[in-house]
Amino acid sequence: MPTASSPAVAAPAAPSPAPPMASGLLLAALGAVAFSGKAIIVKLAYRHGVDAVTLIMYRMLFALPLFVAMAWWGGRGKPPLTRRDMLAVMGLGISGYYLASLLDFMGLQYISAGLERLILYLTPTLVMLLGWALRGARLSRRHWLAVLVSYSGALLVFGREMQLPGTADTALGTALVFGGTVSYALYLFFSGEYVQRLGALRLVGLATSFACLCCIAQFLLTRPLSAAQQVATPVLWLSLLNATACTVAPVLMVMMAMERIGASLTAQIGMIGPLSTIAMGVWLLGEPFTPWLAAGTVLVVAGIWLFSRAGRR
């Protein structure tokens, strides 16, 4: 029997393990860099004479088994989808992954990878503006300042590219990529209810699987089967890399990062995306790095940072 002078019978409880901050930061950074590598791979593939419909078909064909596995894993032990859920998943898949990807791939034929990435990083402001326009969300002056700063940066880079030789279709490419960005913003805006009901992993897996089928069906309806066989071998390898390292892997890495460090910090780490795209564009594509591009990138990143700090009402 212990006495007053004897040590305690039970050792003090071990301190709870520290949150895996380091792994979360690493996953968020790797996910952002992997996402940004998509534009580089697409631009490299275009050098082999492939068109956008064929290129996106191969990307989705290689990604489909992985997304189906993701949907199965996320749906284990959960009730089957209702008819309403199925229609919603189809609509979200078309908006968030089919149209968004197709328009983005088409736009990359005409503009630099750096400008494309800056346009994509306007997505949070578009989601915010949809909330203001469709649901009456109240926006503060900081929100409007974030919009002004970020769009000024994108317009600065766009204006500079319009002045470069051989860029007659820059306006078309910019419009296509911006249209894809709006389509993805609509997906984010309307997916909140279904993320809570179905789970993020299951929803992403189902929506992307349906988008993959849409891309494959589009190719079969608009191209002869021989067109798939006429693709250069490097395009196949680039598409496989795009499907795995720049599509499925970053989705999983970002979701794992959000579990460890939260959505807000994950989003802030994601701001390295435009920087990595520009760096890879200069290194792998030989795209020029100009003071205009640097200034525009700073403005876009600063605008998104202001947006993340503005909070929500």
For the entire predicted model, the pTM comes to 0.88
Residue 305 lies in a domain: yes
pLDDT at 18 over 70: no
Q: What was the pLDDT predicted at 311? A: 60
The tens digit of pLDDT for each residue in 166-178 reads 667 899 999 999 9
Q: What was the pLDDT predicted at 12? A: 46
Report whether 288 contacts 113 (CB < 8 A).
Answer: no
Rounded to an integer, what distance in angstroms lies between the CA atom of residue 244 and that of residue 248?
5
Residue 8 lies in a domain: no
Report which of 292, 37, 298 is spatially closest to residue 162, judged by C-alpha positions.
Answer: 292
Rounded to an integer, what distance in angstroms lies between the CA atom of residue 19 and that of residue 64?
33
Q: What was the pLDDT predicted at 308? A: 79
Residue 77 lies in a domain: yes
Report which of 182, 279, 253 is spatially closest to residue 35, judged by C-alpha positions.
Answer: 253
Residue 15 lies in a domain: no
Q: In the chain, how many domains are there?
A: 1
Q: What was the pLDDT predicted at 167? A: 66
pLDDT at 217 over 80: yes
Buried residues in 219-255 as b, exposed as e (16+ CB within 10 A)? beeeeeeeeeeebeeebbebbbbbbbbbbbbbbbbbb
Computed from CA positions of residues 91, 93, 99, 100, in that sequence, does the dihedral angle turn out positive or negative?
positive
Tokens of 116: 């494309």
Radius of gyration of the chain from Cα atoms? 22
Residue 6 lies in a domain: no
**Structural domain containing residue 218:** 21-311
CB atoms within 10 A of CB 134: 11
Report whether 125 contacts 307 (CB < 8 A).
Answer: yes
Q: What was the pLDDT predicted at 166? A: 65
Residue 14 lies in a domain: no
Residue 109 lies in a domain: yes
| Distance of alpha carbon 69 from the chain centroid | 20
What is the pLDDT confidence band of residue 312, given thresholds at 50, 70 and 90? Answer: very low
Maximum separation of any 2 CA atoms in the chain, in Å: 90
Q: What was the pLDDT predicted at 305? A: 87
Higher pLDDT, 7 or 109: 109
pLDDT at 181 over 70: yes
Residue 191 lies in a domain: yes
Give the ranges where the chain is alpha helix by DSSP (H): 21-46, 52-74, 83-93, 100-107, 113-120, 123-135, 141-162, 170-198, 200-222, 226-229, 233-243, 249-261, 263-269, 272-280, 291-310
Lowest mean pLDDT segment, chosen from 33-37, 49-53, 205-209: 33-37
